[in-house]
Amino acid sequence: MKNSEAIEKRRTFGIIAHPDAGKTTLTEKLLLFGGAIQTAGAVKNNKIKKSATSDFMEIEKQRGISVATSVMAFEYGGKQVNILDTPGHKDFAEDTYRTLTAVDSVILVIDCANGVESQTEKLMEVCRMRKTPVIIFVNKMDREGKDAFTLLDELEEKLDIKVCPLTWPIGMGDRFKGVYNIYEKQLNLFQANKTKISKDIVSISDLKDSQLDEIVGEAPANELREEVEMISGVYDPFNREHYLDAIVAPVFFGSAVNNFGIQELLDTFIEISPSPQGRESDLRMVEPSENKFSGFVFKIHANLDPKHRDRIAFLRIVSGKFERNTFYEHVRLGKKFKFANPTSFMAQDKTVIDDAFPGDVIGLYDTGNFKIGDTLTEGEKLMFKGIPSFSPEIFMELENLDPMKSKQLEKGISQLTDEGVAQLFIQQPGNRKIVGTVGQLQFEVIQYRLHNEYGAQCRFSPKNYHLATWITTADEAQLQKFIATKTGNIAKDKDGNWVFLAETPFLLQMAEQDYPGITFHRTSEFKLD
Domain boundary among 218, 250, 272: 272
Indicate whether 101 and 230 sit together in one domain: yes
Checking if the pLDDT of 218 tops 80, the result is yes
What's the rounded Cα separation, in Å, for the pair 80 and 439?
Answer: 35
Per-residue confidence (pLDDT) for residue 344, from 0 to 100: 85
Q: Are strands 490-493 and 498-502 parallel, antiparallel or unpaired?
A: antiparallel
**The model's pTM:** 0.77
Identify whether 383 is part of a domain. Answer: no
Question: Residue range 382-397: average pLDDT?
Answer: 80
Length of the chain: 529
Instruction: State the Cα–Cα distance between residues 324 and 306, nearest whole angstrom.
Output: 24
- Average confidence (pLDDT) over 11-21: 89
Q: Is the pLDDT of residue 43 over 50?
A: no
Q: Residue 152 has what pLDDT?
A: 96
pLDDT at position 307: 58
Please check whether residues 285 and 350 belong to one and the same domain: yes
Q: Are residues 260 and 340 in the same domain?
A: no
Q: What is the mean pLDDT of the chain?
A: 84
Asked whether residue 168 falls in the same domain as residue 122, the answer is yes
| 118 and 253 belong to one structural domain | yes
What total number of domains does the chain contain? Answer: 3
pLDDT at 296 over 80: yes
pLDDT in tens, 345-387: 764 466 888 999 999 999 999 888 888 889 999 999 999 987 6
* 73 shares its domain with 191: yes
User: Are 418 and 354 members of one domain?
Assistant: no
Q: Quick: pLDDT tens for 311-347.
A: 789 999 999 999 999 999 999 999 999 999 998 876 4
| pLDDT tens by residue, 46-94 | 333 334 545 445 544 554 444 344 778 888 999 999 998 776 545 455 6
User: Where in the sequence is the domain holding 297, given as residue range(s)?
Assistant: 279-377
Q: Give pLDDT tens digits for 158-210.
A: 999 999 999 999 989 988 888 999 998 888 775 656 666 655 566 777 888 88
Q: Supply the pLDDT for residue 63.
A: 47
CA 142 to chain CA centroid, Å, is: 26
| Res. 20: pLDDT tops 50 | yes
Instruction: State the pLDDT at residue 11.
Output: 96
Long-range pairs of 423-427 with CB within 8 A, sequence gap ≥ 24: 423/392, 423/468, 423/493, 423/494, 423/524, 424/493, 424/494, 425/468, 425/491, 425/492, 425/493, 425/499, 425/501, 426/491, 426/492, 426/493, 426/494, 427/490, 427/491
Residue 526: inside a domain, yes or no? no
Report residue 388's pLDDT band, with 50, 70 and 90 as the boundaries: low
Given 222, 257, 272, the domain boundary residue is 272
Instruction: Specify whether 242 is located in the same domain as 372.
Output: no
CATH number at residue 357: 3.40.50.300
